[in-house]
Amino acid sequence: MTTTLAQLNACNATTFVALLHGIYEHSPWVAQRAAAQRPFATLAALKLALQDAVSSATEAEQLCLIRAHPELAGTAALTAQSNSEQAGAGLQHCSPAELAALQQLNADYQAKFGFPFIVAVKGPDGYGLSRQQIIAIFTRRLRNRRADELAECLRQIGRIAELRLTDLLGHRLEFGHTILARADTLAAWSDEEGVLTCAFMTDAHRRTAAQLAQWMTNAGLQTKIDAVGNVVGRYRCDDPHAKTLITGSHYDTVRNGGKYDGRAGILVPLAVLQQLHERGENLPFHVDVIGFAEEEGVRFNSTFLGSNAVIGQFDPALLEQTDADGVTMRDALIAAGHDPAQIAATARDPVDLLGFVEIHIEQGPVLLGRDLPVGVVNSIAGSVRYQVTLTGVAGHSGTTPMTMRRDAAAAAAEIILLVERRCSLAPTLVGTVGQLQVPHGSVNVIPGSCKLSLDIRAADDATRDAAAAEVLQAIDAICARRNIDVALEKIGISAAAPCAPSLMRALAQATERAGIPAFALPSGAGHDAMILAQITDVAMLFIRCGNGGISHNPLETMTADDAEIAAQIFLDFLRAFNPKDA
């Protein structure tokens, strides 16, 4: 018989603990501490309460919880739950080589950390990791620091408990599995073998657009691909004069990127609107899902092409830019069947818009560290970028005394540490030197020149600009002291984009109705929302990013359960949204 949330809320504490037996391996104290927080309005609230009990425990208690779990493919007796999970991953049928690898990893891990390796073998999608994937994760995590690995083991225990609790209650995901499966489908099309790269107007890009358009059409959306390659699907309101709420994100990727960056923001609302269509449910406004054709700038070194076209700020001069093979953007568009002359016609009239709500994987570790599946963005950081060229004097590394050197690389090193120091002084401020070159460098030559990039961001322009001014002033001082010539070129600036209070409030209320605290956080990354903010109100919902919060990387990950929560929140947001309040 299936246990229900209502039963868990109504029973006494002893029965509550008994019903949740096995959710946390040999650790009934977790359920005992969560019982006091009843009643739980939602399954998500129950999951958070259980995880909070683990997070607030002492380290000794946490270590006991971790050590209660068996080694992977070990010889210790397993609980029924662990036995089922390990069997589902095929760990009872390891080849001799796989078994030897796991045994060695177990031994190395125990020797380094003093507790067993924990991974949710059912994986992010709940369907299961392969033995090869488990060994790869094991190998990678063995390189972690102890504190980081302790936290990751607790997160994996939380994921195991989440999946077990879902099974116990017979809960079925309405959206999460579809969202992850569709992301896998799109990730199969790439410009490069073995990795995910999807650049503007390549074959992979065009196939991705066609697939998105097909899914939109199947979901009952009025669909088109516009002149810049944006895939636009409209969920029509019965009132043809109704205004439009836009959602969506980009479908291009960085080189060797992750499969959820941008694309989750298309797939989540698409799944929600498909359900509304299947139920015949109308909304008092149009909803447009836009898969923006380009945001990352990989092929033509020009970012936000899709969203700039939507706000009427596409620069026609970009059409003459060439890629690494000498192909112009104009020719690439024409080859894909688009008419560059029609790009200007894609611009939206701000009068017709209710706002823009973007759903996006966080691309950072904040939500992960707080054990929260989603967060409400309050501002998108503005950035300023420079190219810095330092010129000293090249000389023989063996014959030039240290006191007589004009070493451009040494000046660069001091600048990098300066940026790190200064940009650690404010909560949302970050500074990065992401490119560093010593042209014509040689092992036995003092660097006579050095080139570096500088990227400074903050949630508000004043904080960013103050830091940038101090850094530039300090660069001049460092170079003067070291007798180094410096040339600065500003290569980009974007204004911070605060999110609209009314839309933030609506997302926060939907989040709280889902049983999740409405945690507000800034976005350090740029998004299409910051472009749309120039013509309409914007808001963003972040989804937790696993694997330490890494993004722009094949390790980028989210769970089906987190995708489900984001979709349910967006569905609730749409149903509660009042156009008169916009």
Give the DSSP per-residue string, 185-245: HHHT--SSTTS----TTSHHHHHHHHHHHHHHHHTT-EEEE-TT--EEEEE--SSTT--EE
Q: Compute the C-alpha angle 78/109/138, nearest 5°.
A: 80
| CB within 8 Å of 558: residues ≥ 6 apart | 124, 180, 260, 264, 361, 543, 544, 545, 546
Residue 332 host element (H or E): helix 329-335
Residue with tokens 């991974």: 119
Q: Considering only CA atoms, which of 280, 352, 274, 338 is closest in space to residue 305?
A: 338
Four-point Cα dihedral 12, 18, 20, 23, nearest 10? 150
Judge: domain 176-379+497-581, CATH 3.40.630.10.
Answer: yes
Q: How many CB atoms lie within 10 A of CB 189?
A: 18
Q: Considering only CA atoms, which of 226, 223, 193 is closest in space to residue 293?
A: 226
Threshold 0.85, pTM exceeds: yes
456 neighbors 423 (Cβ within 8 angstroms): yes
Q: What is the pLDDT of residue 79?
A: 75
Residue 148 host element (H or E): helix 146-169
Q: DSSP secondary-structure letter at 71?
A: P
Q: What is the pLDDT of residue 83?
A: 74
Amino acid identity of 83?
Answer: N
362 neighbors 556 (Cβ within 8 angstroms): no
Indicate the fold that domain 385-494 takes in CATH: Alpha-Beta Plaits (3.30.70)
Percent of the chain as helix, strand, coil, to the nearest 5: 45, 15, 40
CA gap 222, 325 in Å, rounded: 36
Q: Considering only CA atoms, which of 227, 273, 284, 225 is closest in space to residue 247?
A: 273
Q: Give me the count of residues in the chain.
A: 582
Residue with tokens 């040494």: 410
| 3-state SS assignment for residue 503 | helix
| 3-state SS assignment for residue 480 | helix
225 neighbors 233 (Cβ within 8 angstroms): no
β-pair partners for 489: 387
CA distances from 383 to 192, 292, 299, 467, 525 (A): 30, 21, 21, 11, 9
Q: What is the pLDDT of residue 2?
A: 82
Q: How many CB atoms lie within 10 A of CB 438?
A: 18
Percent pLDDT > 70 in the chain is 99
227 neighbors 310 (Cβ within 8 angstroms): no
In the chain, where the domains are located: 5-169, 176-379+497-581, 385-494
435 neighbors 453 (Cβ within 8 angstroms): yes
409 neighbors 438 (Cβ within 8 angstroms): yes
pLDDT below 70 — which residues of the chain?
1, 75-78, 582
CA gap 12, 23 in Å, rounded: 18
Q: How many CB atoms lie within 10 A of CB 255?
A: 15
Residue 5 host element (H or E): helix 5-10
Q: Considering only CA atoms, which of 171, 253, 163, 251 is closest in space to residue 211?
A: 251
Q: What is the pLDDT of residue 78?
A: 65
For 5-169, the fitting CATH number among 3.40.980.10, 3.40.228.10, 1.10.3330.10, 3.40.50.620 is 1.10.3330.10
